[in-house]
Amino acid sequence: MGGDHGAETVIGGAEIASIRHPDVRFLIFGDEATMRPVLDKYPRAAAVSEIVHTSVSISMDDKPSQALRRGRKTSSMWLAIDAVKTGRAQAALSAGNTGALMAMAKVILKTMPNVERPALAGLWPTARGESVVLDLGATIGPDAFQLVQFAVMGEAFARVIFSLERPTVGLLNIGEEEVKGTEQVKEAAQMLRSAGLPLNFHGFVEGGDISKGTVDVVVTDGYTGNIALKTAEGTARLIVDFLRSAMSSSLMSKIGYLFAQGAFRALAKKLDPRASNGAIFLGLNGIVVKSHGDTDAEGFAYAIDVAIDAAAADLVQKVAADLALLDGFQPTRGAQTPNSTTEESEAAVS
């Protein structure tokens, strides 16, 4: 019921995903009068889906606190997450209000031991393939130890998703030099070097290193991560628009495009933000995936892929096992900035 395009995107995405994953079944939570006519247009999705009716849904404009009061135990978002808690579903997926999704997921599923703030982790296309980037908007202003927790969770996610034995981990900073950056980032780097954790810590990375694929896991705060994500997506769309305009600007350009259209299609596919849609909340006792609100059915299907892969790989248990390495680690915390999550702040990814 959420996102910019509602049921059409969600059910259309389920139709595409059901072809790739014929054994998967869907529980679709929301208003049946709205969803049934859409579902009837998609026979594959209809054959593997069950509608769970509720007349209450969370709007994109609701503040997290409002959503909790109004949608607690009755909204489509709440019921979808609760299905994960009860074991009726293995993952919950929404294109709706991110702040509300985060707040409800924390209340229903709770955070894992050694996690103070969950992180939103996504896959980022790079020159080497893909990297994990977190946090993309769940926690604004984490302190140094929370960044360490993000690093541990992101490393576990990368091992599962990329099948890597020892993924490299970097802290996003304004430079690679040790003297640069905020106190939180510098303290986090010192903790990662001295904590004795079995992490392959690369050190600091800069913004350009994300797209280069310098490391497998890029750790940052939710404010910076969300801005970087939206900037990269906007730049990718701009490049595609420039190419289309250039290829149609003259007769010779059109002729050249005919000879190179295969290469241009491959480039457009590589730059398509939909292929990287689907960010997962790490640090919760259950799998919750957030899709972009403005995606289409193809993009939503990619987010379904993320949810399926995470569930199949037993991601929650593997992240919890890695977080257990922080048992007994008591860092000395220095200067901190005010800490908030999307539960308390409107500066959330949508």
Q: Which residues pair with 123 in a beta bridge?
A: 132
Question: What is the DSSP code (8-state) at residue 112?
Answer: P
Tens digit of each residue's pLDDT (9 = 90 or more) over 128-184: 888 999 989 888 889 999 999 999 999 999 998 888 889 999 999 998 877 788 899
Question: Is the confidence at residue 299, as pLDDT, over 80?
Answer: yes
What pLDDT score was predicted for residue 75? 92
Tens digit of each residue's pLDDT (9 = 90 or more) over 255-277: 776 767 677 677 666 667 787 78
**Which of 109, 167, 62 has the alpha carbon at shortest distance from 289?**
109
Share of the chain above pLDDT 90, in %: 51
- 3-state DSSP of 57-93: CCCCCCCHHHHHHHHCCCEHHHHHHHHHHHCCCCCEE
Backbone angles phi, psi at 332, to 5 degrees: -85, 115
Please state whether beta strands 119-126 and 92-94 pair in parallel, antiparallel, or not at all (unpaired): unpaired
The model carries a pTM of 0.84
Question: Is the confidence at residue 233, as pLDDT, over 70?
Answer: yes
Identify the burial level of 280 via C-beta atoms within 10 angstroms of its C-beta, where 0-12 means exposed, 13-18 middle and 19 or more buried. buried
Domains of the chain: 119-278+314-341 (3.40.718.10)
What pLDDT score was predicted for residue 264? 65
Q: Quick check: 139 and 221 in contact, CB under 8 A?
A: yes
Question: Is the confidence at residue 337, as pLDDT, over 60?
Answer: no
Q: Quick check: 99 and 63 in contact, CB under 8 A?
A: yes
Q: In what order do the strands lie in the sheet with 279-282?
A: 92-94, 288-290, 279-282, 119-126, 129-134, 217-219, 168-172, 200-205
